[in-house]
Structure 1
Amino acid sequence: MTDPVAAHRHPPDVAFDGGDLDCGNGLLLLIRRHIDPLPRGGLLEIRSTEISVDEDLPAWCRLTGNELVSWTREKKQRSFLVCKGRLAERAPEAPAPRVMPAAAAAPAPARVPVEAPAIPPLAVMGIGSWPRPRWMIEAMHAYVEGRLSEQAFQETADDAVRLAIAAQEKAGVDVVTDGEQRRDSYASFVASRLDNCQLIPLTDLLPLVDHPEEFEAELRALDIPAGDVRHPAVFGRLARTRPLVAHEVDFARSATARPVKVALPGPYLLTRTMWMECVSDRAYDSREALAEDIVRVLRAELAELMDAGAALVQFDEPVLSEVVFSGAKSKRSFMCGALSESLAPAHELAFARDLLNAVLDGAPRHRTAVHVCRGNWTPDERVALAGSYAPLVDMLAKVRVGAYLLEMCTPRAGEMEILKTLPDDARIGVGVVNQKDPQIEDVAAVAARIQHAIALFGRERVLLHPDCGFATFADNPICCTPAAQDKLAAIAAAARQFA
């Protein structure tokens, strides 16, 4: 790092005092909170009394492509001036940008409830995500980094949603999703829609892990692009002043005449993902207190989705598999939030059950679902978790939900017969193709799986889908669009044999 100067030559646009925090104890998260809203060329002043920042901050700047413009030191007090991007990107004639605190959004006008179409027996549907076109991924990064306006991003996403829905319709599905085209992943996107929550690149979180070198190596082994994938960080009390996904349903319904399903991260998943003691505990005393606000947010969202005409609202809770299947593993799986707290399995399952029931309470049961799988971040079946539903089925049976959409095609999921103990008045969604397998399933093999499900649960209760989504993470899709379409088409062709 260059020598300190007597004073910065450029005035900062935003400044904050990090006190004695070091980069491994939350300082990087506070930096990200203040620098992300700045335009390219914006200047952030960071005040600190922690000596280790002298070395760690320049390294972070090099890693993230930001420029350390200058720094000052007077006794213990240090001041670092960081430019978002390069200083050369700052227009000298332009007035210094001002970053204003977000104003509370005006209350949205009351919706006129839309009647949702019924979902027939043996309905074919995707789980949620669909591969994004390269231009959609580029727009997503540009939007998050402040290089693309909200309007331009939404218009780009509209085009991507139209393509995703058209592909599903061509495949012959009965229920469509918008392909989660506006999301960076199936869960973390929520941070970009909630107040006092923000998406942070995984590279910023490495200092918070007990063994960052091991965690970084694990991400590489799982093909996780740590510089592109972002993680939610909570900086204050969560508030919902705009929809999380209701706007997705609004647009999807305008683009199709078929029933629309939408997926939301479940309350247990969000609690596990968002609770990081070094950050979250500044706003919440415990993860249980955080969970109360997450439940409140999801209940409000669910009510709006019902009014918006969503035929099925699915809550994703793949982290339940980590609770019961990862005990023998030396490392946690990426999907479950390696930075979060987890207690004994019995405690975690009861906690998850109570959170789900609190969200679902009072909602039309037949329009709700829960999805469980064993990880969908890599096509390598050897890496994902494995185990039957035996340790989960009792807990799932106590969740007051209308449908269970479950991974079943992969041998890692165990025997379908175990699901017989789920409530008789709930529908059973059966994964009949494996999105991780590049080969397109034979229609006869898919039909055999459907026949087995009908024999176990009865035709009226069965729903059909892949084991999981086709592109859980925008930057790391499991398969390509043609394969995704062909796999859904195989399910639809097999389902027609039982019409």
Structure 2
Amino acid sequence: MSRDRAVIPTEPIGSIPRPAELLAAMVGHAAGRIGDAELAAAQDHAIRDTIHRLEALGSPVVTDGEQSKPSFATYPLAGLDRLAADGVVIPFADGHQRQLPRLMAGPMRYAVHAERYLTAAQQHASVPVKQAVIAPSALSLLYPPDGIDGYPREAFLDDLTAETEADIRGCLDAGAHVVQLDFTEARLALKLDPSGGLLEQFITLNNRVLERFSAAELARIGVHTCPGGDQDSTHSLDVDYALLLPRLLQLKAGVFYVQLASEPEPEKALAVLAEHLPDRARVFIGVTDPIDPRVETPEQVRDRVLAAARHLPPDRLGTSDDCGFSPFADDTSTSRETAFAKIRARIEGTALAAGMLSPGP
């Protein structure tokens, strides 16, 4: 792409806070007061509203806002009967925790594939739709440290690799604009294991999946990293980004979505990105912070893009939100209106920066 026509793409990451009507329907369904059909109708209404509002803001790419996912991480497990509740605990800085389930028996199979969410969203969209999927590294944490009788870890990883490939490939085949692997546990891995061994295991497993795709397919596969964002707190913002980014960029993806708006030292992170970004890969930098209640102005977003452009060429640069606004269905810490206001600022600010990066006639 020539610098005389700077075009900086902008995309949402994934989740958007659910409307009150959907939250009420979810509570009613869990309590047995409403049935599956009524819940599905509430989900479809929320998906349609989310997509139409994103399009009205001028978003060139949309998502379904994860309105019908139980969480960004556990959607493949919905309905599985071989899980226990006492899995890996993820602690957040404010003291609250999230806990993954534990796999009790094999084989590892997805009960739900992300293509279901994509095709539902495409029915309401008039612009390209991206689809987020959970990285296999996150689901590898389901396997207990003491093993499973009759189901060795390597067999589990074989199954998990195949299931993740199918999850991604189904979305590509269904016409996703891009498939985004949510790899939020990357930075957390360095907190849990400062030696880097756990992160290397995660990188190896994720590449084991990515290596199954062609170069053309990898151009439509991205990886998202952030320090977590749940109930206005993070799980690993205190980990030095410079320790993560060079290893993260070893992933064989064509696109990287990198949290940056909430980063304490963004210039330092940008310098690392510029040094290690693989050839032909594009990096989308986070220019809005979903857990900060203050809504960014378009001018603040513009300045963040221009700062990034001092390190990265515009034709390899895009913008996004730092992370999803409500990755777990019960996270209501950010309002739906605040999320859309931040998205508007991202879109308008990105356009302002693109105009400034285009030289005059």
TM bracket, shorter-chain basis? 0.7 to 0.9
Q: Mean Cα displacement is larger for which, 366-375 or 180-189? A: 180-189
Do 1:123 and 1:173's aligned partners in 2 also have CA atoms closer than 8 Å? no
Q: Is the 8 A contact 2:130 2:179 kept in 1?
A: yes
1:412 CA drift (Å): 3.7
Query: Which of the residues 272, 275, 286 maps onto 2:143?
Result: 275
Aligned to 2:249: 397
1:429 match: secondary structure: strand
Tell whether 2:166 aligns with 1:300: yes
Which residue is 2:208 aligned to? 358
Q: Which runs of 5+ in 1 are unaligned?
A: 1-119, 210-214, 328-342
- Which residue matches 2:130? 261
Q: Would you say the 8 A contact 2:110–2:163 is kept in 1? A: no
What is the letter of the counterpart of residue 143 of structure 2? W
Q: Partners of 2:265 and 2:20 in 1: how far apart?
A: 32
Alignment of 1:447 onto 2:302? yes
Letter in 1 for 2:301: V
Q: Once the 2 structures are TM-superposed, how far is the Cα of residue 172 of structure 1 from its aligned partner?
A: 2.2
Aligned-pair identity in percent equals 26
1:384 and 1:438, CA in 2 relative to 1: closer, same or farther beyond 3 A?
Answer: farther
RMSD over equivalenced CA pairs, Å: 2.8
**What's 1:110 paired with?**
none
- Once the two structures are TM-superposed, the CA of residue 262 in structure 1 deviates from its matched residue by 1.0
Give the AA of the match of 1:237.
Answer: G
Q: AA paired with 2:254?
A: G
Contact 1:408 1:432 in 2 (8 A): yes
Name the CA distance, whole Å, in 2 between partners of 1:430 and 1:220.
23
Q: TM-score, normalised by structure 2?
A: 0.85
Counterpart Cα distance in 1 of 2:103 and 2:204: 22
Partner of 2:178: 312
Is the Cα contact below 8 Å between 1:433 and 1:466 reproduced in 2? yes
Q: From the CA coordinates, give the structure whose radius of gyration is larger.
A: 1
Cα distance in 2 for partners of 1:452, 1:236 equals 50
Distance 1:220 1:418, change over 3 A: closer
Q: 1:275 corresponds to which letter in structure 2? A: Y
Counterparts of residues 31-70 of structure 1 (less than 5 Å): none
Q: Deviations over 1:146-187 (max 9, x none)?
A: 665443332221111111112222222111111111112110
Give the conservation status (yes or no) of the 8 Å contact 1:376–1:384.
no
Letter in 2 for 1:417: A
Say which SS state the counterpart of residue 236 (structure 1) adopts. Answer: coil
Q: 2:263 aligns with which of 404, 411, 418?
A: 411
Instruction: In structure 2, list runs of 5 or more residues that go unmatched.
Output: 1-5, 356-361
Cα deviation, 1:384-426, whole Å, max 9, x if unaligned, reads 5324432122322221101110100113464221111111310
Which one-letter code corresponds to 1:443 in the other structure? P
Aligned to 1:86: none
Amino acid at match of 1:433: T
Contact 1:197 / 1:238 at 8 angstroms: preserved in 2?
A: no
TM-superposed deviation, 1:132 = 1.0
Matched, 1:252 2:121: yes
| Count of residue pairs brought into register by the alignment | 343
Letter in 1 for 2:213: G
Contact 1:298–1:359 under 8 Å retained in 2: yes
- Do the aligned partners of 1:222 and 1:377 also contact (CA within 8 Å) in 2? no
Tell me the CA shift for residue 236 of structure 1: 2.5
Residues 51-450 of structure 1: pairs in structure 2 closer than 5 A? 121-143=7-29, 148-192=34-78, 195-198=80-83, 205=86, 221-223=94-96, 231-238=100-107, 240=109, 243-272=112-141, 274-277=142-145, 281-282=148-149, 284-286=151-153, 288-324=154-190, 326=191, 345-360=195-210, 361-363=212-214, 364-380=217-233, 384-412=236-264, 414=266, 415=268, 416-420=270-274, 421-450=276-305
* Higher relative contact order structure (alpha carbons within 8 Å, sequence separation ≥ 6): 2
Distance 2:16 2:239 in 1: 26
Structure 2 CA distance for aligned equivalents of residues 459 and 254 of structure 1: 33
Instruction: Work out whether residues 260 and 285 of structure 2, in 8 Å CA contact, stay in contact via their aligned partners in 1.
Output: yes
